[in-house]
Amino acid sequence: MFSLFKSDPLKKLQKSYKAKLEQAMLAQRGGDIRTYSTLTAEAEKIKEEIDALESKKAV
């Protein structure tokens, strides 16, 4: 009954992932390649967490 009020960690991670990719894109457009690569690496780590959660749900 109370699971209705729990936040879904998968949705939170997906939102964070999209935000990181957008920040990385803006940094790349601004010519800041170092920040772009840092943000892209962070986004990849978040993507790995998303994949792990999705595979855990599938099983």
Whether 28 is covered by a domain: the verdict is yes
Contact 28, 36 (CB under 8 A): yes
CA distances from 40 to 7, 13, 17, 57 (A): 26, 15, 10, 26
Query: pLDDT tens, 2-57?
Result: 667 778 889 999 999 999 999 999 999 999 999 999 999 999 999 999 999 999 88
Whether 54 is covered by a domain: the verdict is yes
Number of domains in the chain: 1
Whether 33 is covered by a domain: the verdict is yes
Whether 2 is covered by a domain: the verdict is no
Whether 17 is covered by a domain: the verdict is yes
Q: What is the pLDDT of residue 5?
A: 73
